[in-house]
Chains A and B, each alone.
Chain A
Amino acid sequence: MISIQQQLSERAIELLALPEDTPCFILDVGCGSGLSGEALTDQGHVWIGVDISSSMLDVALEREVEGDVILGDMGEGMAFRPGTFDGVISISALQWLCNADKTYHNPPKRLYKFFSTLYSSMRRGARAVMQLYPENSDQLELITRQSMKAGFTGGLVVDFPNSTKAKKMFLCLFTGGAPQQLPCGLGTPGANPQQTQAAFTSKRERMQRIRGKPPKKSREWILEKKERRRRQGK
């Protein structure tokens, strides 16, 4: 379990594409016991974590994480000054915003509140990378729509889309600044930058292979027939 969390954190940090060798100030939304924060510390960044579970934050304190942790509900908004963070990561937390745990909770409103306050707390040109486990495509669409409404650009990066087990989704969001290219998911054809279009294949050749026989009167057909007759002793 721990190793998967670490892998996800490392991949999320990679997708953040932070400038090399510069310590950055990062927000970790849904930091839990601080595993993703430790990955950030390892890379020399300073972070603040927010989580709604006080028991998880106590575990983080026990583990003596370097970053500060705050007890907060992301659906109530991110209470930070504008332009604070150089990047935002979130591991397996975003899907919780789709639940209405209290009667006055309204998931679309909470998502919008979260994204809009997050947007303003980020430096222009910064990225937010959020790994999530959506329950279904409706949830995913709701989350993406609300993030775009809040002003983010970007989209979904899917690692290993053809594997049920290894498939991982990262919502990669950009705040203004220079236009940025969405990174490619691992294990997808797009991961090879040269191959952006399907390769041209001769249709005729493909049909031939399906039938297994060369077209009549073609050179291959004649050669094959000669060979067959020879084998029969004719």
Chain B
Amino acid sequence: MVQAADTDERAAAPGGADEALLRAYAAGDASAARAMAERFGPAAFRFALRLTNSRADAEDVAQEAMIRLYRAAPGWRPDGGQVTSWLYRVIANLATDLVRRRQAEPIEAALDLADGAPGAEAWLMARDREDALSRALARLPDRQRLAVVLRHIEGLTNPEIAAIMEIGTEAVESLTARGKRALAEALAGERQAIGYAEG
């Protein structure tokens, strides 16, 4: 059972519980697939959403990343890095590819209106302020956006981000600083565009 695996010594180490869960899944534990989905799924979706700026795309990306995690579980090596770092890296790659493909598509396809919305115009107006950040993020270069999301929204440390992006911590610091500055400028433009200051 998963609970038994959680008592393993390595479960006490950072990421140890995650690896124990993967081992339980690989061993055929019937509850492990659900436990993995609950543990990693919501965070995977949220991270993908910040990178794609689309709930439908985020769902696709997060689901594909989770399927890759399930597939990788039987061959998972404990010294191969943290599970969450691996998952974030997969999501970042999938989302980057998807965003690049989307940029080549007509703008209507990128609007991604949710099913059951009370009409495109009303939905867009209601979401304007919340979407200001997403739109500003979308304007950043890929690597800056990734670094800013990981640092300021996901709350990861610089070494964790460095592991995910496979760069040095100094490069992470530089990317997050430049990204945050660019994001603030983009948000200032968004505020003017949607009348945020008056709201």
**Do chains A and B interact in one complex?**
no
- B: residues with CB less than 8 A from A are none
Contact surface of A with B, Cβ cutoff 8 Å: none
